[in-house]
Structure 1
Amino acid sequence: MLLPPIFYSLSIMPEELSNEQHAMQEAKRLSPALQNSKNEQITELRSILDRLDTVFVQETVLNMIRLQPTESTDAWYAGAGHKNFVLNYHIWRQIRGHGHDLIAEFKTAAQQAFGGIEADFATSGQVQQPATAVRTDFAPVRQLYLVYPEEVSEPDRNGEPINYGVLTRFYEELLGLIPVDIEVVLQVKTRQIANRLRSVGLHPRLRVVVNNELRGVWLRDYAGFNMGTHLVKPKFEPKVYWGGMAVARQISDNMKMLHSLLDLDLELLDLVWDGGNLVTNGQYAFVSEQLAKDNAKHYSKPEIEALIRQKLGLQTEWVKLPKADKLAHTDGYITFISPTTALVSTYPPHWADSEDQQCVTALARRVQALGLEVERIMEYPVEEQAGTEIDSAVGLYVNLLQLNDTWLVPTYDLPSDTETLAQLQRLNPNGSIVPINCTELAKLGGVLHCISFCN
């Protein structure tokens, strides 16, 4: 597919427009100026565009190959199928990196050719958010924060250790799937682990930070809320926490160091609040009734709503979740992929628990009542745990991780994987859907959104 010559007038794209839509919009605005430019400069720019054409075609073809359904059996992982999948992915990353280089080259050439015009359109289409707006899941990502699980453990209610070290292989695969233009800040337990990971080369932009006090991997829950200029940090003291209140408080205090890594100020929020119990589009805060229960001793619902409005600038939307859900985190039921579109869970007709279906149906209707669009994502919960009292998250897809135009999507070797990946690709037509098997992680009660923190 040969794109129009002025296709890549590349400013910073607003999140609700595709690259092509934005480029066409800019091309119409800039056509008069381009027509007055020197012929040799136009020739140079078109040469770069031709190379970009080739890169985008190569990327499209590789995506068609990479996202084909596979058996995902043990034999497949041990054989040529998995090897070819990994090889194709690394080739795709190299091509994508080359594309970023060409975009930078084009912008430099455009600046030289058109002077102030480039500076003008660099911000013309950008969706501006206040500097103090709470970060959304679909916002641009420069950094991804994770906790590496090796030697990380915490006690359950019986004092037996929950060993997250079983997830090391999963994390190594995850690091290899993160786009090369994103810096990964990885907290590790010891200096020895840090030195080894630095030498392995799991990601080209890996920054390893030693934190001897690491106790868990669920960074989303205790990191706080990123406001751009500062980090708002609630109290991590969930009543259902399997490690007990003392361990929860230790984890919460330890994670205060995150604001130093982010180079942001820290502002404490006097609410008991897990980060997984906030899903927002930048206007509404979808939180479960658990937030009101955890703070009932000191705050009424209206007072909590006022605090959320004051500290985060969001209007609170209370979500009723199933009574059987001990965590009651809304990120297990809804996520936003744009300011106006939410993915909301639904369940198969044969699903035994009618309360679950009633809750997500009510949630979807509430989102629509706010004038927002809803895409229902079929979930296939599997009761499969690995030593914790928290319900398994196996079969949960909505807890995906958005990294700019690349979406990392959990899979579980279930027949539903292929259908879900295809649905998400339709919702992200100009981006990439990258599957990763999350079965072992999900057995511990969380998935990709739960273990990550973006900046």
Structure 2
Amino acid sequence: MTENYQLIPEWAQQEAVMLVWPDQHTDWQPWLIDVQSVYLKIIQSLNQANTNVVLLVRDGEIKNCLSKLENSSQVLIVKADYNDTWIRDYGFLSCVNASGLQPIEFVFNGWGQKFDAAKDNKINQQVLSQLCQQGIQSVDLVIEGGALEIDQHGTLLSTELCLTNPKRNGAKTIASYQDDFQQFLGAKQSFILGNGHLEGDDTDGHIDTLVRFTPDNGLVIQSAFNRPDDTHFQGLSDLVNECRQVLPTHKIFELPLPHIVNQQGDRLPASYANFLISNQHILCPIYQQTEDKLAMQVIQKAYPDFTIVPINCLPLVQQFGSLHCISMQIPCGILKPEILQSFVTGVSVYE
């Protein structure tokens, strides 16, 4: 692979966001109507941010999906078969160097072999590659997109709990991961955080539920300052302190922690840090909780030049994920010109 490629931060200009349509064949089935409504709201909000949407849909579900979309929506439906809809963790990543842009993919094995991911792991080469100007380069390393956070300076964050799960890459060391992040993602420095985890999180503590960069050397952290008696309080407090130690010049913005359980009484990993940045807009997950207002205020302070768009993600967190987890951004320059042209006429189906 060509040297000096660097992973592009999320606030770079985007031409599209990838989503995968939830249907009755996914784990969303018990909440399907509500979840599809969330997806439609996300699509509408992205289009209002001048962001197109590449929507993967099963062949037999395209007609139904089309009936729910507004004809004027900037959406390209692409036929695909998949295990589930968490494209953040298996969709291609976008890198850049002096010569241009390069989409890359890692191996996806269902968050350490917790779930079947055979179909998801083929999506990039069998489906998405035909949309891109450059072929998608493959890296023989198990890693999920939600496990990576980078800024424009090449500072990368991830979490020890996730990376050291032996069912991802065996006994691979943190130092070895850092070498790979430098080689494949252009990370000039990598900090692998040891603290912080949300109950109910199947990903082993993905960074996108815990800590996010801002463009001006800020850190937005899912804290629990508002819940001193919560079981998460100590771990998330330690996370905040760890971030202060490894990035002492960064300004820290702490998010409140909601307390949400499902009908079975299980704690759900609702994180306000799981927001999506797209073209000067931030799609912010809210959960119909008292903490929603404060969370949006904190995010607005952290990103003063961005428009905050609340999205009710209470249906999404029923499946132990949220807004960032179901999406993957495509920076400008990745897609073929004819793909971009297809968005001009509204909803279309890629043939």
Common fold: TM-score over 0.5? yes
Alpha-carbon distance in 1 for matches of 2:278, 2:55: 16
Displacement after TM superposition at 1:305 (Å)? 1.6
Query: 2:190 matched to 1:316?
Result: yes
| SS at structure 1 position matched to 2:293 | helix
Alignment of 1:13-24 (within 5 A): none
Displacement after TM superposition at 1:187 (Å)? 0.9
Letter in 2 for 1:146: L
Query: 2:258 matched to 1:384?
Result: no
Alignment of 1:82-231 (within 5 A): 132-153=5-26, 165-166=32-33, 167-180=35-48, 181-190=50-59, 193-194=62-63, 197=66, 200-201=69-70, 204-211=73-80, 213-228=81-96, 229-231=101-103
Question: What TM-score comes out, normalization by structure 1 length?
Answer: 0.62
Displacement after TM superposition at 1:226 (Å)? 1.2
Partner residue of 1:234 out of 106, 109, 122: 106
Alpha-carbon distance in 2 for matches of 1:261, 1:366: 42
| SS at structure 1 position matched to 2:56 | strand
- Call closer, same or farther: CA 1:446–1:265 in 2, change over 3 Å: same
Alpha-carbon distance in 1 for matches of 2:22, 2:169: 34
Displacement after TM superposition at 1:146 (Å)? 0.6
1:39 corresponds in structure 2 to: none
Structure showing the higher strand proportion among its residues: 2
Partner residue of 1:353 out of 228, 232, 254: 232
Whether the aligned pair in 2 keeps the contact of 1:194 and 1:208 (CA below 8 Å) is no
In our comparison, the structure showing a higher alpha carbon Rg is 1
Alpha-carbon distance in 1 for matches of 2:251, 2:111: 34
Whether the aligned pair in 1 keeps the contact of 2:221 and 2:273 (CA below 8 Å) is yes
Alpha-carbon distance in 1 for matches of 2:87, 2:301: 30
Per-residue CA deviation, residues 374-417 of structure 1 (Å, 9 max, x unaligned), is 21112224233789x9x6233x2111111122111111111111
Per-residue CA deviation, residues 9-55 of structure 1 (Å, 9 max, x unaligned), is xxxxxxxxxxxxxxxxxxxxxxxxxxxxxxxxxxxxxxxxxxxxxxx
Partner residue of 2:243 out of 364, 374, 377: 364
Query: 2:137 matched to 1:267?
Result: yes
Alpha-carbon distance in 1 for matches of 2:241, 2:304: 28
Whether the aligned pair in 2 keeps the contact of 1:223 and 1:233 (CA below 8 Å) is yes
Letter in 1 for 2:217: T
Partner residue of 1:415 out of 280, 290, 304: 290
- Call closer, same or farther: CA 1:152–1:363 in 2, change over 3 Å: farther
Letter in 1 for 2:312: N
Query: 2:306 matched to 1:438?
Result: no
Corresponding pairs, count: 312
Alpha-carbon distance in 2 for matches of 1:198, 1:413: 28
- Call closer, same or farther: CA 1:131–1:259 in 2, change over 3 Å: farther
Whether the aligned pair in 2 keeps the contact of 1:286 and 1:317 (CA below 8 Å) is yes
Kindly report the root-mean-square deviation, in angstroms, between the aligned alpha carbons of the 2 structures.
2.8
2:333 corresponds in structure 1 to: none
Letter in 1 for 2:250: L
Structure showing the higher helix proportion among its residues: 1
| SS at structure 2 position matched to 1:423 | helix
Displacement after TM superposition at 1:238 (Å)? 4.2
1:342 corresponds in structure 2 to: 219
1:281 corresponds in structure 2 to: 151
Alpha-carbon distance in 2 for matches of 1:375, 1:202: 40
Per-residue CA deviation, residues 83-115 of structure 1 (Å, 9 max, x unaligned), is xxxxxxxxxxxxxxxxxxxxxxxxxxxxxxxxx
- Call closer, same or farther: CA 1:172–1:400 in 2, change over 3 Å: same
| SS at structure 2 position matched to 1:426 | helix
Letter in 2 for 1:165: L
- Call closer, same or farther: CA 1:190–1:320 in 2, change over 3 Å: same
Displacement after TM superposition at 1:363 (Å)? 3.6
Alpha-carbon distance in 1 for matches of 2:122, 2:233: 39
- Stretches of structure 1 that go unaligned for 5 or more consecutive residues are 1-129, 155-160
Of all paired residues, the percent bearing the same amino acid is 21
| SS at structure 1 position matched to 2:129 | helix
Partner residue of 1:297 out of 170, 176, 180: 170
- Call closer, same or farther: CA 1:262–1:392 in 2, change over 3 Å: farther
Moved more, 167-176 or 213-222: 167-176
Alpha-carbon distance in 1 for matches of 2:38, 2:193: 32
Partner residue of 1:253 out of 122, 128, 142: 122
Letter in 2 for 1:310: Q
| SS at structure 1 position matched to 2:44 | helix
| SS at structure 2 position matched to 1:233 | strand
- Call closer, same or farther: CA 1:187–1:230 in 2, change over 3 Å: same
Whether the aligned pair in 1 keeps the contact of 2:256 and 2:294 (CA below 8 Å) is no
